[in-house]
Amino acid sequence: MPAPPPRPAPSAETCTAAANFHGILFELGSARIADDRETSATLSELARALTTPDLAHLSLIIRGHTDTSGGDRVNLPLSQRRAEAVARRLIAAGVGPGRVRARGMGSSVLADPGDPTGFQNRRVDICF
């Protein structure tokens, strides 16, 4: 029996089911994915899970986030490029390109509103 078609992805702004990935690291001030063991393992495990038959029907939005330094003029494009970098990596690992959208959120959705530096906001999350 063929797999069901992908469900439409939720809106990036109204995501109700998200998984945070602080383990996907980037070079400072860059959208280049860090070349380290933790990041590689996180991306490999994520791609493996997303290509299993149980999850192959899910569409997703990869949301990139930045800390609060730099302002929106810098952070929004940077977070978009980071989300796109993760999307490209997942697609290269076998996740269907029609299932993946990337969305930069800048520093608008704080991971820890009590952290005045916003450094805990450096993350990628995925809405299902």
* Reported CATH class of domain 19-127: alpha beta
This prediction has a pTM of 0.83
Domain borders along the chain are 19-127
Q: What is the DSSP letter of 60?
A: E
| Region of residue 71 (phi > 0: left; psi between -120 and 50: alpha; otherwise: beta) | left
- pLDDT, tens only, 78-126: 999 999 999 999 999 999 999 999 999 998 776 666 666 656 678 888 8
pLDDT of residue 12: 52
| Residue 80 tokens, joined | 């978009």
Q: Which of 7-16, 49-58, 80-89 has the lowest mean pLDDT?
A: 7-16
Average pLDDT, the chain: 83
